[in-house]
Structure 1
Amino acid sequence: MQDFHVLATVTEYTRFYGLPAPAHPLLTLVSLGETRVAPPPAQWLQPVVLQLYTVFLKRNLDGPLYYGHQIFDFREGVMGFSAPGQVFRADAALAASEVSGWMLVFHADLLRRQPLGQKIHGYGFFSYQVHEALHLSAREEALLETLLSGLRQEIESPTDAFSQDVLVSQLEVLLSYANRFYHRQFLTRRPAEHDLLSRFEALLTAYFTAAEEQPLPTVQHFADALHVSPAYLSDMLRTLTGQNTQQHIHHALIEQAKLLLLSTSLTVKEAAFRLGFAYPQYFSRLFKQKTGLTPAQFRFSLQ
């Protein structure tokens, strides 16, 4: 059984990776070009559970880095994000002598009593998988570097009554730009994203036209089938179609329900079970919410 190092504070993080002590107890900005290590120390090869948020841009990291159950290398510069609870591990073959970029590490306590403390849960990219990283243009990288320069200056300034508010506001601007850049990526990488949309639509159609009864489909079901994270799938669909995954599922579900109600003699209860509902009242409630009519009223109105 493997031992896991749990890094719960920014100070624990910097000590573990041999980085300079943080100037702020809840946040640190690391310049990766100044902290090159090759090969990685033996302790880095053990899994690390990071109870912190990270925002990073890494280039020229030669070799695999384990992120959860995925393997990724950063030879190509990409930006990524992780939320507390993620597992990381370096491979023995990892060479970081040429790595460059930066990493922003911060504790959730930094956001306590701040609007960003709630808003950050809406940034789906903290739940994306590693192969869904953000690819930046040179102009976008330069913009982020400018933002980081201001953030670094504030971190290194003496703390006063306004320090936390300023830090959090600067962090929110950085995340807002990341959100914008991801939506740009969904639109500009059209062949890949539209192929994903087409495959999702095909899976959705096949699921509801299957002859046998099946449980209600979940967002996780389709994300797993498409080998992407649920958050990435929903954000991609919302950008391309205006609706997230759950809304697509509900639309297909209601359309199939209408077909059953109009083309079969199934009772409302039987139709609900055919569609995968364990409780018919849930089916009736959803149907009325989406159409303005109960299933019985809909059937009667078109007879």
Structure 2
Amino acid sequence: MPVINNYTDINEFLTASDIDIQMRFRDFVIFQWDDRKIYNCLNDIPYRNHFFEITFQQNGHPVKLDHYNFSGEGNKLFFVNPYRLQSCDADGTYSVNGFTILFTPEFLHTASMGHYKQQEVPLSNYFSNPEIVLTEKATAGFTELFKKMSEEYQQEDNSFSRSIIQHYLQIVFLLAQKYAEPEPVTGPVANRPQEIYNRFMNLVQQYSRQQSGVRFYADKMHLTTKHLSSTIKTISGMTALQIIHNARIHHAKSLLRQTSSTISEIADSLHFENPDYFSAFFKKHAGINPLKYRQS
């Protein structure tokens, strides 16, 4: 089985990363990289966080997220969902500048400014490139916004801080959506089919390494497989099974790129019957066999 660390608790991750910061809220933390004397890459072992991450980078270090590689150069914003595979190279010294926010879904659900709708924020994008490249003007705006959020987080005697930070976070989402989607989005911001799709994508991100059948997800959502499949097809243009298959290929690519696990170990970790079936499945959906993909 591939060696991967899983962090279900924010404080557990901070401790493992040698990030010495006092958590004010159990479900939210913000820290500035400039203040950190050490940025620990967790001994080169890939890891998955079971919570959200937003990183505002002005100068960073090379990282891998799923099967994407990022150089650490330039002004960027990263929106990372739970369960995405991350790693970085512990060798080398890098000048790191920017902010990172870690928070649980509950922190969003308890926001004071209306009901949280996941499709309104970039965090609803579970498998795609998490990076937003920022202009100088956008960088200046985010710098000011993250500084204000950090300053508010440190106001321990202010009982309004949690609500204020939640509002700042909503502004981060809105600005990120502005720069990620220049054209205005029209139509209703929420409806039942969209909610079903969002919930399904969340479950696929969480369980597709172990579960490949549509019925599992339909049962989780208390829906019939027919209703789930037709709803997903209407929203995305893809069947539910296609999305599950794509997610499994996504996880396989991540393991091929970020671990040295054998094909047999990866097949086993993704609950395929045998390595040959996994290789055939991978080639059918990725257009290349797993070994050639790893070498590419």
Coarse TM-score class (shorter-chain normalised): 0.5 to 0.7
Contact map agreement 2:57 2:97 (CA 8 A) in 1: yes
Please give the secondary structure, in 1, of the residue aligned with 2:132.
Answer: coil
1:111 equivalent in alignment to 2:112: no
> Match of 1:46?
45
Task: Using the TM superposition, name which of 177-186 and 137-146 deviates more.
Answer: 177-186
Counterpart of 2:272? none
User: RMSD across aligned C-alpha pairs, in angstroms?
Assistant: 3.2
Contact 1:49 1:88 in 2 (8 A): yes
Take 1:47 and 1:117, find their aligned partners in 2: how far apart are those partners? 34
Distance 1:96 1:177, change over 3 A: farther
Give the whole-Å Cα distance in 2 for the aligned partners of 1:180 and 1:57: 16
Partner of 1:3: 3
Cα-to-partner distance string for 1:33-71 (whole Å, 9 max, x where unaligned): 232547x55x331121111111112244344x2212322
Identity rate, percent: 12
Return the offset for 1:140. 1.1
Tell me which moved more, 104-113 or 116-125. 116-125
**Which residue of structure 1 aligns with residue 238 of structure 2?**
218
Shift of 1:161: 4.5
In 1: Cα distance, 2:52 partner to 2:163 partner: 18
* 1:168 Cα offset (Å): 0.9
Q: Which amino acid aligns with 1:8?
A: T
Task: From the superposition, tell whether residues 62 and 103 of structure 1 become closer, same or farther in structure 2 (CA, over 3 Å).
Answer: closer
**Cα pair 2:6 2:49 within 8 Å, conserved:** yes
Q: Is contact 2:34-2:98 (8 Å) kept?
A: yes
Residue 176 to residue 66, structure 1, CA distance change in 2 (3 Å): same
State the aligned residue count: 192
- Residues 71-108 of structure 1, C-alpha deviations (whole Å, 9 max, x = no match): 22222232110112222111354x34212222111122
Q: For 1:1-303, list aligned pairs within 5 A.
A: 1-21=1-21, 22-35=23-36, 37=38, 40=40, 43-63=42-62, 65-93=63-91, 95-114=92-111, 118-127=116-125, 131=129, 133-158=131-156, 161-184=159-182, 218=238
Q: Retained in 2: the 8 A contact 1:36–1:97?
A: no
CA 1:120–1:159 in 2, change beyond 3 Å: closer, same or farther?
A: farther
Instruction: Give the structure with the higher percent helix.
Output: 1
Which portions of structure 1, spanning 4 or more consecutive aligned residues, are displaced by more than 6 angstroms?
219-222
Residues 47, 87 of structure 2: 8 Å contact kept:
yes
Question: Would you say the 8 A contact 2:99–2:146 is kept in 1?
Answer: no
Q: Answer whether contact 1:116 1:172 (CA < 8 A) is retained.
A: no
Structure 1 or 2, whichever has the larger Rg, is 1
Task: Provide Cα deviations, 1:171-226, integer angstroms capped at 9, x if missing partner.
Answer: 1111111111112399xxxxxxxxxxxxxxxxxxxxxxxxxxxxx8617969x99x
> Which structure 2 segments of 5+ residues have no match?
185-232, 251-296
Question: Quick one: which amino acid aligns to residue 106 of structure 1?
Answer: F
Distance change >3 Å, CA 98–CA 121, structure 1 → 2:
same
Cα distance between partner residues in 1 of 2:95 and 2:124: 26
Paired residue type of 2:89: D
1:222-276 CA distances to partner (integer Å, 9 max, x unpaired)?
9x99xxx9xxxxxxxxxxxxxxxxxxxxxxxxxxxxxxxxxxxxxxxxxxxxxxx
Q: Secondary structure at the match of 1:58?
A: strand
Give TM-score, length-normalised by structure 1.
0.54
What is the identity, as a one-letter code, of the residue corresponding to 2:56?
L
Task: Measure the CA separation in 2 of the matches of 1:105 and 1:44.
Answer: 20
The residue type equivalent to 1:58 in the other structure is Q
Match of 1:196 in 2: none
Secondary structure of the residue that 1:118 maps to in structure 2?
coil
8 A contact 2:31–2:150 mirrored in 1: no
Distance 2:46 2:152 in 1: 32
